[in-house]
Structure 1
């Protein structure tokens, strides 16, 4: 009797399992049909409606942000995408708060946001990376050669009244410049006390001021070589200040940047390689973005990668493996799923 009862239970369990499998494969609410290898665990949408926030019109981030929208529309017809002008710290806050779906920022600033460090007033730990856009964005501390300043020690020891601009206030580019000075024993207040000035402005406008003799130095985090700097060097005598190994270690520990070198052959005015720090720029979302949407966005970038790389010179070296190198930011689970399916994770 006991054996018969046990056998009956086994038959019932087998029937239940079979019914579950049929339901899972029948295209019900919880199991969307797969298409071209897409994940069965979540629904990959037929169209995507997103807004992307980046930088000012005419800049690299604006071109890239518009390009992200275009590749989404190419892969998912009927999608609605829009690009909005932004500033980096604000981009992060807007995406974290769910006001905008996608943003462009440096990994270091997203790390600072996750830790609640200034300029952020609370921990924003719900941010996740979709893809690297470009790496090796190097700190450039550009200075006019007629100042006679060759390094940060010169600047500090001579108490030089430097007229300095940095990129937009509270952007990662500005923060890296500030930390590079700080790691070399110099503050904004020091420069002002020596009779100099510190202001925040775009690169194009700042280089115009250098040409007009109203500015002596500009700090930014950009790819090598910078077309702005190459162009400026045709009628300005320029130099780049190197960071000491000690200063590099301090900046990296504070901001999550990494050591790099600007080779002397990248700019005609350099006599030596320039040790400095670098950062990575990514496309990111919050955890509110569904896994299916994240998967689809990364898939659209991969499907249109040749086109996407042609949008801006900074994207030229991008490939699927590099797209995964988003540390110290975590990958969105949907993006991670796509990269694993493609064998690059």
Structure 2
């Protein structure tokens, strides 16, 4: 099943390695010659974060691999389930829908061959408008506002329109890549962009360099209403995330996990997890959102079965208590 993959494959080859797994002493039986990581559109956190750790793993393990532009979490679940991509990235909401067979890409298909690999970070839901618009709160968004929600089928597009409806906002829905929507906001073609992405969102950071923006927080009442209706948690966007912010911004968030095709060799996935999780400072050099890519956050997976190689790493290195019935087996 081809899912319209966009050719933006950031391939790398190993020039030198420092990882124990690169020494070639471990059993590499069944390891693929190359791998892909399904990310999302360019200009978003998934693409920067995913391409970064893909290149890191390729360098450390001495195999070819890279990040690929996709439609985001829903498509990544499908790509990994079918094996068209070895790895991907998803949020817990789309993962749950995919496992239940309600992924809009393939309705009725329970995507149970996509397994949890390692925790990434929380995805905050944030709203941005031009300062010149006068929109400073959710209540200020006028009826019929043109709102860009990100790529069709993304976490943002799946949940943010529902959240806006829950808060009584009436809008015209627009979709597109993060960078494209940021450009449309700057050009006056959109009134608001509502992004669910790890912060700082590159497209928003670029916007505030070029023009004055308002990063709009939820009120306490709005935050509570959304948390009651959707699988999200309270979150604060730190003031130093964007130059525009003078104080933390109240938001909500959803956890992100990387996923692996469940049929990949245990030793391969163990080596990938070890490479990513063993040096958080190096991961933060890829993207600041990786500050939450920590072993102790293994327990944030409440939805997916664990890949055996990933489960083994977290049990051995993070003291994880993962029940046997939560680990994938044939």
Paired residue for 1:48?
31
- Verify: 1:94 aligned to 2:69, yes or no: no
Q: 1:238-282: per-residue Cα shift (whole Å, max 9, x none)?
A: 323333555545544555221112345644545664322112222
Distance verdict in 2 for CA 1:171–1:111, change over 3 Å:
same
Separation in 2, partners of 1:312, 1:322? 17
Instruction: Tell me if structure 1 keeps the 8 A contact 2:43–2:179.
Output: no
Cα gap change, 1:101/1:267 in structure 2, threshold over 3 Å: closer, same or farther? closer
Secondary structure of 2:286's counterpart equals coil
208, 216, 225: which one aligns with 2:191 = 216
Helix, strand or coil: the match of 2:119? strand
| Equivalent residue, structure 2, for 1:334 | 309
Partners in 2 of 1:178 and 1:285 — Cα distance? 29
The 8 Å contact of residues 53 and 286 in structure 2, kept in 1 or not, is answered as no
Query: Displacement, 1:162?
Result: 1.5
Gap regions ≥5 residues in structure 2: 1-19, 321-330
Whether 1:119 and 2:104 are equivalent positions in the alignment is: yes
RMSD: 3.2
Aligned residue among 101, 113, 116 for 1:129: 116
Structure 1: state its 5+ residue gaps: 1-35, 38-42, 192-196
Task: Output the TM-score relative to the length of structure 1.
Answer: 0.71
Label 1:131 to 1:208 Cα distance change in 2 as closer, same or farther (>3 A): same
The number of equivalent residue pairs is 292
Q: Distance in 2 between matches of 1:136 and 1:248?
A: 16
SS at match of 1:140: strand
1:139 Cα deviation from its structure 2 partner? 0.8
Q: What secondary structure, in the 3-state scheme, does the structure 2 residue paired with 1:100 have? A: coil
In the superposition, the TM-score normalised over structure 2's length comes to 0.74
Q: Which has the larger radius of gyration?
A: 1
Residue 316 to residue 47, structure 1, CA distance change in 2 (3 Å): farther
- Mapped contact 2:130–2:214 kept (Cα < 8 A): yes
Per-residue CA shift, 1:189-227, capped at 9, x if unaligned? x42xxxxx4311223222222222332211101333445
Q: CA deviation at 1:181?
A: 0.6
Q: Do the aligned partners of residues 146 and 76 (structure 1) sit closer, same or farther apart at CA in structure 2, a change above 3 Å counting? A: closer
Question: Does structure 1 residue 201 correspond to structure 2 residue 187?
Answer: no
Q: Distance in 2 between matches of 1:106 and 1:176?
A: 11
Kept in 2: contact 1:74–1:300 (CA 8 A): no
Alignment of 1:226-265 (within 5 A): 226-234=201-209, 236-245=211-220, 247-249=222-224, 251-252=226-227, 255-264=230-239
